[in-house]
A and B are shown apart, each in its own frame.
Chain A
Amino acid sequence: MHKGSGASTPKKLLVHFVMLTIGILLVSFSLWLVYLTYFKVAHRTGETLAKKAVSRLDMIYEPFHGADESVLAGSKSKSWCLKCHEDLSHSKSKEVRGMLNAHSFFMACEVCHIAPREGERFEYKWIQRGTSIPLAELKGPPGEYGGTIIPFKIEKGISRRLDENPEALQLLDESATHENDEDLQKRKMRLNTDIHKEFSPKPIFCDECHRENGPLDFSQLMYSPQRAQLLTFGEGANVIKQYKDFYLPSLMRNARRER
């Protein structure tokens, strides 16, 4: 039985056109899937995911938020706050300190440790590590963008970077050689107050940024729409919401007990 034979009518032509269009779309989609599966070298394809999973077999007990790449990349150029507060400045809570310290390697401490007062405006930019040059785009896998998220306070239309204080850096250098200098100690105390006056000892919590309309606009921070969605609503954001009580999988707990 072969339908569709016989004289062409406008209706038949329309059916052929629709079927041809759908067919082309479906074949294109199929070819794209084949390309994704076998040819695309990307962060997230079935093959790379499988390889990653297999490579993790010997790291089954590693922390859930294992962000080794971010930490290694970030440790090469850390925030100057860490000159006093040490590399792993978050140490109180065993459950969250790893994640917080990992964040400190790709964003300035002030991102979380400022408490904007009413009427105050901030903008956030990716700045190339060790420089003041804004990143033009985010290249490479997450955690290896080569930059740090820095908050800028906008006052009277002027954007001022909050993580720079040349005097403090100079003082730190002097401290190394003039530790017992009384004048230096006084300057340190004054500067300590100055540096921290815009800081809040109580930081904002993860889900204040990992949400829609939060202070960080992930699209404006040049994340791809997928990554921005992931950070706002997806895996990362959901984990943060669900991990407010920081439930650790029983496997991790057992692993700790065994050690």
Chain B
Amino acid sequence: MSGHGNKERAFVRLTKSERIQHVILFVSTGLLILTGFMLMGEVWAIKLFGSTAKSIFYWRGIVHRIAAVAVTAVCFYHLYYVLFKADGRSWIRDMLPRLKDGVDACQNVMYMLGKRDERPKMDRFTYLEKLEYFSVYFGMFIVITTGTMMWTQSYWPKFYLDVADAFHLGEATLAALAIIVGHIFTVHYNPHVYPMNKAFIDGNISETMMKEEHALWYERLIAEETGQTANATEGGRGHA
């Protein structure tokens, strides 16, 4: 816990390892989106670069592959992290979907429609965060598999490469839109966090945010802090 004097109290949202994984993930994914969709670029726009377009496209392929290796490495490390590290095990345990997520989703929609006075109390990860997290697993499986196939194209029949190409592009489009419309709005343009949720930098979440977004988790941590841990469920982290 931090927060002596006038400073607001903060809780640990992301550990150092998780923040590093996230940085590698978003830098690599950004590069992959940029260098990948360059192949779909409008010819007139590419011609604006003149003679440098040739060099740009040469480096495009190299950067795309380097970023692909980085994102694959971080995905495999994350699997190791959630299976073998204490913080990772706690992370995945809290991330697993539960019946309550469905109830939360319904109640939250009711709240947004004005049919309910209060938002549901959500745990460490909201139903939307869980959906986003497991979508990344699904998406990564698709793009890594099909990307690897296209990288080793001489070993595959044309039919499979066409299927891989279609899946790779389709999933990349879906992921790019999900990141821009979903994730970037949530962590940057949402009035609650505008201009950015700094948790990905300092790893902390403020007490106010905790109460608003993760009330159930907050209550559990406070209960643990005040010694009422007997009935508290396992999981969660200490305070910053």
Q: In the complex the two chains form, what is the Cα distance from A59 to B159 in whole Å?
A: 8
B134 contacts chain A at the CB level, 8 A cutoff: no
Cβ contacts A203-234/B at 8 Å (1 or 0 each)? 00000000010000001000011101100111
Cβ contacts B197-220/A at 8 Å (1 or 0 each)? 000000000101100100000000
B154 contacts chain A at the CB level, 8 A cutoff: yes
A57 contacts chain B at the CB level, 8 A cutoff: yes
Interface positions of B from 86 to 124, Cβ below 8 Å from A: none
A66 contacts chain B at the CB level, 8 A cutoff: yes
Could you tell me if B163 and A37 are in contact, using CB atoms closer than 8 angstroms?
Answer: no
Partner pick for A226 among B51, B57, B159, B188, CB 8 A cutoff: B57
Known interface pairs A1-B208, A30-B180; A56-B159 also in contact (CB < 8 Å): yes
Partner pick for B189 among A19, A239, A243, CB 8 A cutoff: A19
Partner pick for B157 among A23, A33, A60, CB 8 A cutoff: A60
Could you tell me if A56 and B43 are in contact, using CB atoms closer than 8 angstroms?
Answer: no
Could you tell me if B212 and A62 are in contact, using CB atoms closer than 8 angstroms?
Answer: no
Could you tell me if B153 and A53 are in contact, using CB atoms closer than 8 angstroms?
Answer: no
Q: Is the interface of B mostly helix, strand, loop or mixed?
A: helix
Interface positions of B from 118 to 132, Cβ below 8 Å from A: none
Could you tell me if A44 and B61 are in contact, using CB atoms closer than 8 angstroms?
Answer: no
CB contacts (< 8 Å) of B46 on chain A: these are 224-226
Number of A-B contacts (CB under 8 A): 122
Interface positions of A from 1 to 59, Cβ below 8 Å from B: 1-4, 15, 18-19, 23, 26-27, 29-30, 33-34, 36-37, 44-46, 49-50, 52-53, 56-57, 59
Q: In the complex the two chains form, what is the Cα distance from A52 to B159 in whole Å?
A: 9
CB contacts (< 8 Å) of A19 on chain B: these are 188-189, 194-195
CB contacts (< 8 Å) of A2 on chain B: these are 191-192
Could you tell me if B192 and A1 are in contact, using CB atoms closer than 8 angstroms?
Answer: yes
CB contacts (< 8 Å) of A59 on chain B: these are 159
B47 contacts chain A at the CB level, 8 A cutoff: yes
Q: In the complex the two chains form, what is the Cα distance from A242 to B165 in whole Å?
A: 19
Could you tell me if A226 and B41 are in contact, using CB atoms closer than 8 angstroms?
Answer: yes
B58 contacts chain A at the CB level, 8 A cutoff: yes
Cβ contacts A225-259/B at 8 Å (1 or 0 each)? 11011001111001100110001010110000000
CB contacts (< 8 Å) of B60 on chain A: these are 229
B23 contacts chain A at the CB level, 8 A cutoff: no
Partner pick for A56 among B153, B162, B194, CB 8 A cutoff: B162
Could you tell me if A46 and B194 are in contact, using CB atoms closer than 8 angstroms?
Answer: no
Q: In the complex the two chains form, what is the Cα distance from A4 to B157 in whole Å?
A: 56
Could you tell me if B154 and A239 are in contact, using CB atoms closer than 8 angstroms?
Answer: yes
Q: List 29 A-B contacts (CB under 8 A).
A: A1-B208, A1-B209, A2-B191, A3-B191, A3-B192, A3-B193, A19-B194, A26-B180, A33-B173, A46-B169, A49-B162, A49-B165, A53-B159, A53-B162, A56-B162, A59-B159, A62-B158, A219-B54, A225-B49, A225-B53, A225-B56, A226-B41, A226-B46, A226-B57, A229-B58, A233-B61, A242-B154, A247-B155, A251-B157
The 5 closest A-B pairs by CB, nearest first: A229-B57, A49-B166, A53-B162, A242-B154, A225-B53
Supplied contacts A50-B166, A228-B57, 19 more A-B pairs, CB within 8 Å: A2-B192, A3-B195, A33-B177, A36-B40, A36-B173, A44-B40, A44-B169, A49-B169, A53-B166, A59-B159, A212-B58, A219-B53, A226-B39, A229-B54, A229-B61, A232-B54, A234-B61, A247-B154, A249-B155
